[in-house]
Structure formats: structure tokens, C-alpha cells
Amino acid sequence: MNRISALAWFFTKDLFRSLAGIVPLAVALAFGIIAFEYGMDQAQFITVAGLGTGAICLLTALLLSSRANRASSSLVITRLHRRSELLVALVLTSLGITTALAVPIASGNLLAGRLALSFPSALWILPTWMPLWLLAGALALPLSALVSRGGSHLLSYVLLAVLLIANDRKAMLTSHGLDWLSQGVSTLLWPISTLLAQASSGIHDRSYWLAGTLTLVYTGLLLAAAISLFEDKDLLWSE
């Protein structure tokens, strides 16, 4: 655990000492201004800001993976007992940075009167968002060139795009007799949609906890896939 913590601190400093560190800050600032322009109630905040900060976590993890995918990282990797420690550190670093960015987004808009929260029910935001952020961080790994083999990250982008488009066009799929595909997409995304929907409506029954658990299962599967690709990969950097 000490090695993972040290790696997380190293990646955080490395990101923000580069120009790439401006990207998550700029995106968070833009999201905090634009998304809250007309104000948000608690239900909107849980859903809209949850997805928005999840996207920031995904972007941050991709940037961190890109920074780690350099010849200078070989000195770090060779000192690790297992390469999986590096991937876990990347996910946890993205989670920490996202948390650090989400706090000023929420508090700034709350103080500006553009966000209405009801306590203590608003505290359910934390157990709702954390699984989503972990999922976003783990999703970035197979999308990155760091763990990619034979361009597998390009296939990951294609599959993700197909999933998002199919989810947006479920009515069209049904009208063309592709009910099975529409149902499959709905089932696959059920944990995320249920987690956000129930949290925004103030319901925390078995479905909420099941959705949160399945979201963490998805995270574990993505992390396991990334570790499998990265564990014995030949690391050859052009520089």
C-alpha cells in the first residue's frame, strides 16, 4: 500500500508539473460555470454533476496513463513487485484528483446560490459518485495506449462508442426489430442508471445497493482486464 500511495503522489506531481495538468483544471472550471448557469436542485446535481465529474475522472485517468506511458517510467516499473500496482495507483490518483476538483465545483456553486442541497440527504452523493468515479478511472486503462496490445485500445474506443450510440438510439433499434440489442444495452447500463436515478429520487433500497455493487464489479473486471494486458507486456518506448 505504501508503494501505491507513493506512486499516486508521484503521478499527481508529474501531471501538474506538465502542461497536461491544465486540462482537468480547465474542464472542471468550464463544467462548474456552464453546467450550473441556470442552477441545479439536488436531483439534477446528483445525475448531471455525477456524470460530468465521472467524465473528468475518465479524462484525468487517460492523461495520467499517457504520462506513465514513457521511457522514464521504466525506472519506476522495474522497482515494483507487480505491475498491477502501477495501474491501481493510476486509478486512485484519478479518483483523488477528481475529488479535489469536485469539492470546489460544488462548494463554489452552493455559495453562489446556483445549487440547492438538502442535508443530511445530500450526503448520499458520496456513496453514489465514488463507484462511478472508480468505474471511470478503470475504464480509462483499456482505452489507453499504456496497456494496449496490438491496438486493443482502439477496439475499446469502438466498443464504447457503439454502446453509447446504441443507448441513445434504443427507440430506433426497437423499431427496426432489434429489441434484443436494446434490452442488452439497458441491462448492461442498468447499474449506472439505477444508481443515479435512485439517489436523485432519495430511494436507497436493495436495488440501489445492488447497482452500486455491480458498478464496483464492472470496475474490478475492467481493472483485471487491464492488468492481464499489462502484466507481461513488452514495454518498448520510441524515445
3-state secondary structure of 135: helix
Percent above pLDDT 90 for the chain: 48
Q: Which residue has the higher pLDDT, 238 or 56?
A: 56
DSSP lists the bridge partners of residue 40 as: 115
CA nearest neighbour of 10 among 111, 85, 122: 85
Give the mean model confidence (pLDDT) for residues 53-63: 96
DSSP notation for 211-239: HHHHHHHHHHHHHHHHHHHHTT-------
Q: Are 90 and 133 in contact (CB under 8 A)?
A: no
Q: Is 226 among the domain residues?
A: yes
CA nearest neighbour of 32 among 13, 45, 18: 45
Give the mean model confidence (pLDDT) for residues 62-88: 83
Burial class (CB in 10 A: 0-12, 13-18, 19+), 206: exposed
DSSP state, 49? I
Q: Is 172 among the domain residues?
A: yes
Give the mean model confidence (pLDDT) for residues 49-63: 95
Q: Is 236 among the domain residues?
A: no
Query: In terms of residue numbers, what domain contains 79?
Result: 2-230
Angle at 225 between CA 224 and CA 227, to 5 degrees: 65
pLDDT at residue 77 is higher than 80: no
3-state secondary structure of 168: helix
- Can you tell me the distance from the alpha carbon of 137 to that of 99, in angstroms, rounded to the nearest whole number? 12
Tally of structural domains, the chain: 1
Give the mean model confidence (pLDDT) for residues 211-236: 89
Share of the chain residues as helix, strand and coil, in percent rounded to the nearest 5: 80, 0, 20
| Residue 79 in grid coordinates | 522497482
Q: Is 239 among the domain residues?
A: no
Give the mean model confidence (pLDDT) for residues 144-159: 87
Q: Is 45 among the domain residues?
A: yes
Q: What does the pLDDT look like over 154-195, one tens digit per residue? A: 888 898 898 888 888 888 877 777 788 888 888 899 999 999
Q: What does the pLDDT look like over 117-127, one tens digit per residue? A: 888 888 889 99
Give the mean model confidence (pLDDT) for residues 68-74: 78
What pLDDT score was predicted for residue 33?
A: 92
Q: Is 235 among the domain residues?
A: no
What pLDDT score was predicted for residue 175?
A: 75
Phi and psi at residue 117, in whole multiples of 5°?
A: -125, 145
pLDDT at residue 1 is higher than 70: no
Other Cβ atoms less than 10 A from the Cβ of 120: the count is 6
Residues 6+ apart with CB under 8 A from 13: none
Q: Is 237 among the domain residues?
A: no
- Can you tell me the distance from the alpha carbon of 36 to that of 26, in angstroms, rounded to the nearest whole number? 15
Give the mean model confidence (pLDDT) for residues 30-36: 93
pLDDT at residue 235 is higher than 80: no
pLDDT at residue 237 is higher than 70: no
